Amino acid sequence: MLDWYAGHARSLPWRVPPGGERPAGHAYRVWLSEVMLQQTTVAAVRPRWEAWVARWPTVEDLASASDEEIMAAWAGLGYYARARNLVKAARAVAERGGFPQSEAGLRELPGLGDYTAAAIAAIAFGEDAVPVDANVERVVARLFAVDEPLPKARKAIRAEAATIWPEGRAGDFVQAAMDLGATICTARDPKCLLCPVREHCEGYRTGEPERFPVKPPRKAKPERRGAAFWIERDGAVWLVRRPETGMMGGMRALPDDGWTARVDGSGEAPLDGEWEDAGAVTHTFTHARLTLAVKRHRGEGKPSGDGEWWLLDRLDEAGLPTLFAKAADRAIA
DNA sequence: AAAACGTGGTA
DNA sequence: TTACCAAGTTT
């Protein structure tokens, strides 16, 4: 694996080449990449990571930024709890004068679970940690032909992973396993003929490596309906901030009718008067599918409650989550 | 322990 | 179009 990695490592902006020296501030860059990459593809992360480190080159810079700026900068990346935790973690790190250097210390920071703490410990600090992400999980499940279905199999997979982890090379090894998982040992249509560890792979021997890891069937997504309200006056639109908890918590948004993933909206508008029908947008979340009607108001009156008039010329800077960016496009069209 | 939590890409 | 998948964490 390590030999293969030396010749096949992907070139990624947050990564030090195999065997390379770690520069000062590396932990910040690795941490940011790991958090952005949680349930998110490399293709989506790469440009956002570049822009982020250009704007906030160090963890201290990030700790000094406002919540509002940071949440807006995360817009479109999804799983917004990551951004809320990122702010808290950055401030905790700046306060204590640097990142904790151990897996256990890192695990205490908000937003760092078992995987991410282990990954940073291994990649940024050279600790002998065993980070098990979806790639490692898949590679190991195939190597050992683990028949037990997820998530029950996690314990066994973690234990098998530990048996093949090389001492002193955990950082390179986990990155090798992730590159192997991303390019060769892929979820669908694995390229076993190119695999450097094929001879050791029990899954390959079964003839059906793609069967591993065994996954349970998914549940159906509920269909939800709701409405969002576009209130426009003199080249500005009324935006609100969503509550800290729940979907898209802490993000700027259009006012809505109270829909959630569990319940349809009331249809009730935040303002009396004439509402135009601006059509609808559909959006699929992890756990629900939403059809959002967009209603437009260009009359008189100010909506009740907190909010702000946002200039339409600068709407792209508002940091709207994708759902509301779609709704805005619909309202403007 | 199961469910909540976004989004974009691919087949 | 539907279904699945992607460097998971929190409650």
Among A116, A84, A113, A110, residue whose Cα is nearest residue A246: A84
How many Å apart are CA A81 and CA A44, to the nearest integer? 18
Among A318, A324, A329, A332, residue whose Cα is nearest residue A74: A318
b/e A112-121 (16+ beta carbons within 10 angstroms → b): beebbbbbbb
Contacts of A8 (CB under 8 A, 6+ apart): A179, A183
Q: What is the pLDDT of residue A20?
A: 87
Q: Are A4 and A180 in contact (CB under 8 A)?
A: yes
Which A residues 233-252 have CB within 7 Å of strand B?
A: 246-249
Nucleotide nearest to A178 (CA to C1'): C7
Q: What is the pLDDT of residue A109?
A: 98
**How many CB atoms lie under 10 A from the CB of residue A329?**
12
Is strand B within 7 Å of residue A81 (CB)? yes
Q: What is the pLDDT of residue A8?
A: 95
b/e A214-253 (16+ beta carbons within 10 angstroms → b): eeeeeeeeeebebbbbbbbeeebbbbbebeeeebbebbbb
Q: Is the pLDDT of residue A280 over 90?
A: yes
Q: What is the pLDDT of residue A217?
A: 86
Among A243, A148, A138, residue whose Cα is nearest residue A188: A138
- pLDDT band, residue A218 (cuts 50/70/90): confident
Q: What is the pLDDT of residue A238?
A: 98
Tokens linked to A103: 């897996």
Q: What is the pLDDT of residue A146?
A: 96
Q: Report the DSSP beta bridge partners of residue A98.
A: none
Q: What is the pLDDT of residue A304?
A: 86
- pLDDT band, residue A85 (cuts 50/70/90): very high
Q: According to DSSP H, which parts of A17-133 are helical?
A: 26-36, 42-55, 59-64, 67-74, 81-96, 103-107, 114-125
Q: Is the pLDDT of residue A324 over 90?
A: yes
Q: Which domains occur in chain A, in start order?
A: 1-127 (1.10.340.30), 130-217 (1.10.1670.10), 223-332 (3.90.79.10)
3-state secondary structure of A284: strand
Q: Is the pLDDT of residue A105 over 90?
A: yes
Q: Average pLDDT in the A79-104 region?
A: 98
Q: What is the pLDDT of residues A187-202, one digit of tens each?
A: 999 999 999 999 999 9
For strand C, the positions having any atom within 7 A of a protein Cβ are 3-10
pTM across the whole model: 0.97
Nucleotide nearest to A14 (CA to C1'): C7
Active site (annotated) includes residue A34: yes
Q: Is the pLDDT of residue A270 over 90?
A: yes
3-state secondary structure of A74: helix
Q: Average pLDDT in the A69-93 region?
A: 98
Q: What is the pLDDT of residue A162?
A: 97
Tokens linked to A140: 């190991």
Q: What is the pLDDT of residues A124-141, one digit of tens each?
A: 999 999 999 999 999 999
Q: What is the pLDDT of residue A299?
A: 86
Burial class of A171 by CB neighbour count within 10 A (0 to 12, 13 to 18, 19+): buried
Q: What is the pLDDT of residue A293?
A: 97
Q: Is the pLDDT of residue A277 over 90?
A: yes
Q: Is the pLDDT of residue A19 over 90?
A: no
Is strand B within 7 Å of residue A188 (CB)? yes
Q: Are A175 and A187 in contact (CB under 8 A)?
A: no
